[in-house]
Structure 1
Amino acid sequence: MVAATKNRNTPTRAGHRRGHPAAAGVLCLAGTIAVMNASGYAEPASTTTDLITLGVFSAELDNAAGGDGDQVAEIERGFFQFANDDSDPVARTQIGTPCYLVDNQTVAATDGSGTRSPAGIVDDVDDQGVWVLLDPTA
């Protein structure tokens, strides 16, 4: 293809919400951490490796009786507050560095000796929890 020589209407994706095919047999709860599994389907976050954090589920989705891709989960990217793991807490000194998935609403300071996937980048830590940037493209 050659370089454009006139204005063009370039397709764009506005906003920070995307649809993502859901994994088989999952219940996705609104406001909890959404990840992509090794097969490319969205599911709730858990303590395991090889997950890619997508954002948070915007709405509840019940695909418990469905197969891979039978339903599409709406997922939002951005800054969100999650619980700080009691046994491996994220500290303020970790702002700007990765934190790691413990479950669908909890993050930790370390990868748990190689047992946890990255959640996102720590934005802030306060008495209520950890603010994390969840964006797979960041």
Structure 2
Amino acid sequence: MPLTGPRNTQELNAARRFRFTVAASVRIFPGALAMLNASGLLTPGAVATGQTAAGRALTDSNDGPVTVERGVFKWKNSASADAITAADWGKQVFIVDDETVAKTNGSSTRSAAGICRGVDADGVWVET
């Protein structure tokens, strides 16, 4: 039945933080853009296809499984001709590395980082 008045829609804040096992032989630093590989293991952001953006790492992989937070975070903008502009608000952007995003998928070589939510002089706000 559709609403006929206001609704107090509950939110589970803990749903923004997740803990993942880290892939072998990789290092993820706190603050890094992290992604999940095809096996569901966490890796630092990098040019790769078939990966899923996990969010911002909150802990260091040297300490064991990594806690990742989803939300809207500022990443570096690609310095190339693939830079994101204000006209890209609401569009999907793509992972270049563990701190950088770009406008395109790099000829199908990059995985999606999330949705552009703003561009500042020092970076791009991305919702993961």
Q: Identity of paired residues, percent?
A: 36
Match of 1:119 among 106, 113, 123: 113
Moved over 2 A (4+): 12-15
Are 2:85 and 1:91 aligned?
A: yes
1:22 CA displacement: 1.1
**Cα root mean square deviation, aligned:** 1.4
CA contact (8 A) 1:26 1:62 kept: no
Q: Tell me the equivalent position of 1:35.
A: 35
* Equivalent-residue separation in structure 2 for 1:13 and 1:91 (angstroms): 31
Please name the residue that 2:14 is paired with.
14
2:44 is aligned to: 44
- How far apart, in 1, do the equivalents of 2:118 and 2:54 lie? 19
Q: Contact 1:38 / 1:51 at 8 angstroms: preserved in 2?
A: yes
Tell me if 1:104 matches 2:119.
no
**How far is 1:15 from its partner?**
4.4
Higher-helix-fraction structure: 2
Aligned to 1:8: none
Q: Which has the larger radius of gyration?
A: 1
Equivalent pairs counted in the alignment come to 116
Q: TM-score, normalised by structure 2?
A: 0.86
Per-residue deviation, 1:59: 1.4
Amino acid at match of 1:53: A
The 2-side partners of 1:50 and 1:25 are apart by 19
Once residues 13 and 130 of structure 1 are traced to their aligned partners in structure 2, the CA distance between those partners, rounded to angstroms, is 24
Q: List per-residue Cα deviations over 1:27-70 (Å, max 9, x = no partner).
A: 1110011100011101101001111001011011127xxxxxxx
Task: Give the structure 1 partner of residue 74 of structure 2.
Answer: 81
* Comparing 43-52 and 15-24, the one that deviates more: 15-24
Partner of 2:26 in structure 1?
Answer: 26
1:13 & 1:54 partners in 2: Cα distance?
16
Give the corresponding residue for 2:65. Answer: 72
Query: Does the 8 Å contact 1:21/1:73 carry over to 2?
Result: yes
Question: Is the partner of 1:27 in helix, strand or coil?
Answer: coil
Cα separation, 1, equivalents of 2:70 and 2:41: 16
Give how far 1:13 is off.
7.0
